Chain A
Amino acid sequence: MSKISIVFDRVRAEEKMLQKEAESLGYDTTSIDAKTTRFSTESKKSDYDFGNVVLERCVSYYRGLHFTACLEFLGIPVINTFEVANNCGNKMLTSLLLSKNKVPTPKTYFSFSAEAARENLDKVGYPLVIKPIVGSWGRSVVPLKDKDTVDALFEIREYTDGPHDRIFYLQEMVKRPPRDLRAIIVGDEVVAAMYRKSSGFKTNIALGADAELCKITKEIEDLCVRASKAVGGGILGIDMMEDEKRGLVVHEVNNTVEFKGLAKVATKNIPKTMVEFAVNSVRK
């Protein structure tokens, strides 16, 4: 019998659903708190009981990423892998990989000082959207529509001066309807998709956007598979926008995708599909 571990740092509805489905499928299932687990350079796989495969579900990106590194050091399979988590957790790496693999994605401009970012803005023109390279739920995603906004925001960055504040990720403001699309892909299977509707600029469910089930078209399916392959594959949330001219463009790929809302309306059992994928991935 396969044993599966779910690594968490905060138990949300998603982690409870995964645990329930794994148990229903008959797998020996354990939930492990990343905050109380210790590793060292001397650690061995036999020191732990993580089972055959681990689903990494930490809400803190860096905690999950580094925990995954420790698990892979021990030779324990993790969904998603360190490489995939790293590719998706950093928006700049995601954009580069999407573009490199010819996945339609918004034009995005990178610079490594406020001065160079201003030059990008002068050259490309307003508006652009500034996003932190690490972050989620729409935090600190700001449309830059004029010089005053830029001056204020860049000044704040100078004072906060976190390591990520020196990386300026500026993205074109895509002309789209007041919604975007989120699809969940597990391996090569797009299991569910939804529109996220908002009257405001941001369409994050965490910020109150309304969710509506979306039919999975061939275009959505193809794009999700290509985006997933571009970052390394696994269990992912693909965010897309409907550009007026280009059609669908992928703007983000999420590594520890939330699915509480979508699971209620989806025709497929999302957590069950995720558990089966994880177990089957180590049987191959």
Chain B
Amino acid sequence: MNCPDCDGNINVPADASVGEIVSCPDCGADFEIAKKGGSIELKQAETVGEDWGE
């Protein structure tokens, strides 16, 4: 898939699941694998929040 930011090529592993994070090897941006309708898309990953953790 192409990076929504820089159009670089992002390799989404065949066994990846919705909710996983992939990174663009060109620009380093993180994206979350999401499902829209029946197809997979990349959406901007949330940044680390103040309440994130264990």
Q: Which residues of A contact B (CB under 8 A)?
A: 8-11, 15-16, 31, 33, 59-63, 89, 132, 134-137, 139, 162, 164, 206, 237, 254-258
Contacts and interface: CB of A to CB of B under 8 A. Distances in A.
Contacts, number: 57
B53 A137 contact: yes
Contacts of A135: 50-51, 53
A273 to B, nearest CB: 17
A16 B17 contact: yes
Given A10-B32, A10-B46, A33 B53 contact: no
Interface residues of B, number: 14
Main secondary structure of the interface of B (DSSP, over half): loop
B26 to A, nearest CB: 22
A166 B54 CA distance: 23
A127 B52 CA distance: 27
Interface of B: 17-21, 32, 45-46, 49-54
Given A31-B19, A60-B52, A134-B50, 14 more contacts: A9-B19, A10-B20, A10-B21, A11-B18, A15-B19, A16-B17, A31-B17, A59-B53, A134-B51, A135-B51, A136-B52, A137-B52, A139-B53, A257-B54
A237 B53 CA distance: 12
